[in-house]
Structure 1
Amino acid sequence: MTGTSAFFLRREDLVPLLEELAETLEVVAPVLVEGEAAFATWRGGALALDDKNPLASPMEFFLPKKEVLFRYVQYSGRYTFSEDPPRARLIFGMRPCDLQALKVIDGIFGAELPDIPYAGRRRSTIIVALNCTSPGEGCFCRSMGSGPGAEGGYDLLLTDLGRGYLVEPGSPAGVYILRAHQRHFEEADPEDQREKERLLALAGEEIIKRGPSLNPEKIREAIDGVDWEEAGRRCLACGGCSLVCPVCHCFSVLDQGVPDGERLRCRDTCILSGFSRMTSGANPRPALGERLRHWYLDKFVYIPEKTGLFGCVGCGRCSRVCLGEVDRWSLFKEAAE
Structure 2
Amino acid sequence: MRHFLDFEKPIADLEGKIEELKHLSGTGEINIADEVGKLQAKVERQLRATYQKLTAWQKVQVARHPDRPHAADAIAHLIEDYQPLAGDRGYADDAAIVGGLGRFRGRSVVVIGTEKGATTEQRVKRNFGMARPEGYRKARRLMEMADRFGLPILTFVDTAGAYPGVDAEARGQAEAIARSIETCLSVRVPLVAAIIGEGGSGGAVALAAGNRVLMFEHAVYSVISPEGCASILWRSAEFAKDAAEALKMTAQDLERLGVIDGIVPEPLGGAHRDPKVALAALGKAMGTALDDLARRDGGQLRAERRDKFLAMGATED
Q: Give the TM-score normalised by the residue count of structure 1.
A: 0.22
**TM-score normalised over the length of structure 2:** 0.23
Pick the structure with more strand per residue: 1
Query: RCO (CA 8 Å, sep 6+): is it higher in 1 or 2?
Result: 1
Q: Which has the higher helix share?
A: 2
